[in-house]
Structure 1
Amino acid sequence: MTTRIYAALDYALLVIEGRGGNWDANRYFDGNERPYAVAVDPYAPERAYLGTFNDGLWRTVDGGNSWSQIGSDFSSSRVMAIAVAGEDRPGEYGTVYAGTEPSAVYRSDDGGDTWNECHGLTDLDSATEWSFPGRPDTHHVRWIEPDPNVPERLHVSIEAGAVVRTSDRGETWVDRVPDGPFDAHTLATHPDAPNRVYAAAGDGLLEEGHEYVESTDGGDSWVYSSEGLEQHYGWAVAVDPGDPDTRVITTSPGAGRAHDIEDEAVRTHDEPNDPYSVVYRRQGEELWQQCTDGFPDPAGLFVPVLATIPDESGTFYALTNRGLYRSADSGETWDEIDLSWKDRYREQQPRSVAATSIRDE
C-alpha cells in the first residue's frame, strides 16, 4: 500500500509518497502560483485538484507527476477552496467543487473538464455582510464540505460571514442560521454520523468558547463546545475515520499568531510575526486535551492543517512549517515523517493537505 499526501505550502506543493516506512517528496509550483487548497478524488486517487491564490485551478491525473490548468471559465484566478464529492458520481469521477474570491462556487460533473457556476450564492440575505478582514472589500469561499450521507448536499463556509448549504448540488442555497458559526475556517463530516457537521472557527475571538462548534441536524442548529481549549482561534478540524466522536483541532491565540503575516500578498493583520499554535484532541464529551507527545513546540509554529484517509482508522496527518507529522493513535501521540524538510519550508504557511492510499499492484 502506498500513501500519497499532497502538501500545499505558500510557495510549493509537495507530493509525498510513503511505502514500507520509506518516504519521498517531489516539489511543484514553487513560483508565483501560490498553492492554497488541494483535494483528491477518493475513488480515483491518481486525480487531484489544486487551487492557487494567483493562478487559478490545476489538475493532475497521474498522481502529481504532471499538472495542467483547468477552469478557464472561472471569473477569478483566486481559487481558495476545492472539494470532491466522492459519493456523488454522475460519471467516472466524483463531482468536483471549486470556490473562489470573490465568493462563487463552481461544479464539474466530468472530472474538471467543464464547469458550471452554482448561481445564487451571493443573492443570500447575509451576503451584504460578508467581508474578509485582510481584504475587507471582498470575501471568499473558505471551505466546501460535501456530505457523505447526502450526496447532493454541501456545506460551504464564507470567510468571513456565514456557513451556508445546498441540498441540490448548488442549484439553490440556504442561508446561515442565527446560531451558526460566523467565521468557520474548516468544516468536516463523517460517514458514520449522518447530519453531523464539525467546524473549527475564528468566532472565539468575538466570543470566548466559540472556537469549535457542531451541528447534529445537518446545519439547522449549532452547539459550541470548546471546553479545554485555551486558544480562541480555531483553524483546522479532522475526525477519526473510525470514530466520529474523536476529533483533532488546531488553534492559535489569534489570526496574527496563526499565519505568516509578513507575506504582503495575504497579510491579514499588522501584529509582529510571532507564530504560536496548539493542537488538541477530544473524545466523546470529554474536555479538549492538548497534544504534546511528539508534536512540535507551539512557539514558532504556524497553525497546522489536517488530513485523514478513510481506510486508516485512528490516523491523522498534520502539515506544519516544521514538517509533516502522523498520529496512529487518534491524535494522542505524533511522529514526524522522515523527510528532507528544507529550511525555506520552515518560513512558509501550511495552506492545505490531502491524503489518499493506493493499493500496490
Structure 2
Amino acid sequence: MSLIAGTDDGVFRASTGTTEDAQRVLDAGRVMRVRRFDSIEGVFAASETGLYRSRDGGDSWTDLGVPREEVYSVVAGPDGERLYAGTHPAHLYVSSDDGESWRELGGFQELPSREEWYTPRHRNEAHVRSLGTHPDAPERVIAGVEVGGVHVSEDRGETWTERREGVHDDVHHVLVRGPETYVASTGSGLYRTADAGRSWSRLDGGLDHRYFREAITHEGRLYAAAARSSPGTWSGENGADAALFESENGDGFERAPYPGGPEEVILAWTVADGTVTAGTNGGRVVRRSEDGWREAGTLPASIRSLAPA
C-alpha cells in the first residue's frame, strides 16, 4: 500500500515503508487535507487551488470545480450520496452528483455567531477546517471552523446548530469517534464531547502544551501531538517544543519521544498497513512500532495531511 501526503508543495505519493521513492503527483500548492472514504471511490485533496480527486491511487487527478478556490476540508456522507466541501472564506458546499456540480448550503451562513468568524492572521476571515460524518448517524454533519467553533447539522447540512460553547473557537480538527463522541484539536487545548457537542470537557488538563492540530484513534488508543504555542513561534529562540501524547481512551496521557521531536511538530495522522503513521512540519514521516516511534523517511515539504493511496 502506498501513502498519499498533502504538503505545502502539492501531493506526494510514497511507499509506506520508506519515502525514498516519493514523487509529487499533484502540483496544487498548499494542500490542507487528503482523505479517503468508505462510501465513495477515490482519494481527495483539498487545497488552496481547489478540490481534486484521483480514482487511480494518485496517478491522475481531476479538479472538481468547487465554487470557491480555497478548499480546506472534504467529507463524504456515509451513504455516498453527498460530498461536502468546506472553504476559505468559511462557506460550505454540497454535491449530490459525485462532484459534477455544487450547491452552497446557505443555512451554514445563518448561524448566530457567523459574523464573529474571523482572525487577522487569516485575512480577517475564517475557514471550514474540518468536516466529519459517522455511519451510525447518517444525517449528521460536523463542521469545525478556524476561527469559529464547532457546528452540527442533523439534516445533511441544510440547517445548523452551534455547538461551540465550552470548546475553544480556534478549531483545527474534529475527530469523529462515534455518532456523538468527538475530539476537537484547537489552538488552545484538546476537548472531548460525548453528546454531539452539547457539552465539552478538557482532555489536556494535566499537560503543559496547548496548541493541538489533529488527533487519531487506533485500536482504542488516542494519539495527539501539540506545540507550546502557535506556528509563529516555532522558529523562535525556544523553537516549537513539540510533544506527542498517547492515551487509552483519553483518560490520562503519556508523552512519547519521536524522531524529529521536539523541534518538529506532528501535524498529520493516518493508519497505513495497520500502523499509526504521522507526518511533521519538517517533512518527516514516522511510524508506531512495538518499541516506540521510528522514522520512515522524509518528504521535501511540510506534511499537513496523510492518507492511504
1:306 has 2:269 as partner: yes
Q: Specify the alignment match of 2:225 in structure 1.
A: 250
Pick aligned residue for 1:236 from 209, 214, 217: 214
Pick aligned residue for 2:302 from 349, 358, 361: 349
Q: Specify the alignment match of 1:89 in structure 2.
A: 80
Question: Which amino acid in the other structure matches residue 89 of structure 1?
Answer: G
Q: Specify the alignment match of 1:65 in structure 2.
A: 59
Residue 44 (structure 1) shift = 5.2
Q: Specify the alignment match of 1:264 in structure 2.
A: none
Maintained 8 Å contact 1:133/1:160: no
Pick aligned residue for 2:295 from 318, 324, 336: 336
Maintained 8 Å contact 1:29/1:35: no
Query: Distance in 2 between the 1:66 and 1:285 partners?
Result: 39
Equivalent pairs: percent with the same residue? 25
> Structure 1 195/140 Cα, relative in aligned 2: closer, same or farther at 3 Å?
same
Query: Distance in 2 between the 1:298 and 1:80 partners?
Result: 27
1:25 has 2:22 as partner: yes
Maintained 8 Å contact 1:257/1:274: no
Q: Specify the alignment match of 2:106 in structure 1.
A: 119
Larger strand share, 1 or 2 = 2
SS of residue paired to 2:109: helix
Normalising by structure 2, we get a TM-score of 0.89
Question: Which amino acid in the other structure matches residue 349 of structure 1?
Answer: S
Q: Specify the alignment match of 1:268 in structure 2.
A: none
Query: Distance in 2 between the 1:114 and 1:156 partners?
Result: 21
Query: Distance in 1 between the 2:206 and 2:45 partners?
Result: 35
Maintained 8 Å contact 1:280/1:291: yes
Q: Specify the alignment match of 2:153 in structure 1.
A: 166
Pick aligned residue for 1:101 from 64, 69, 88: 88
Normalising by structure 1, we get a TM-score of 0.77
Could you say what the CA RMSD is over the residues aligned between the two structures, in angstroms?
Answer: 2.5
Matches within 5 A, 1:27-46: 27-30=24-27, 33-43=29-39
Residue 133 (structure 1) shift = 4.0
SS of residue paired to 2:162: coil
1:202 has 2:193 as partner: no
Residue 276 (structure 1) shift = 3.6
Question: Which amino acid in the other structure matches residue 63 of structure 1?
Answer: G
Maintained 8 Å contact 2:39/2:80: no
1:326 has 2:304 as partner: no
Query: Distance in 2 between the 1:114 and 1:258 partners?
Result: 41
Query: Distance in 2 between the 1:43 and 1:147 partners?
Result: 11
1:224 has 2:205 as partner: no
Q: Specify the alignment match of 1:265 in structure 2.
A: none
Unaligned runs of at least 5 residues, structure 2: none
Q: Specify the alignment match of 2:248 in structure 1.
A: 283
Maintained 8 Å contact 1:307/1:353: yes
SS of residue paired to 2:115: helix
> Structure 1 27/134 Cα, relative in aligned 2: closer, same or farther at 3 Å?
same
Pick aligned residue for 1:130 from 90, 108, 117: 117
Maintained 8 Å contact 1:139/1:158: yes
Pick aligned residue for 2:260 from 288, 293, 296: 296
Q: Which region of structure 1 is more displaced relative to structure 2, 229-238 or 109-118?
A: 109-118
Unaligned runs of at least 5 residues, structure 1: 204-210, 262-270, 357-361
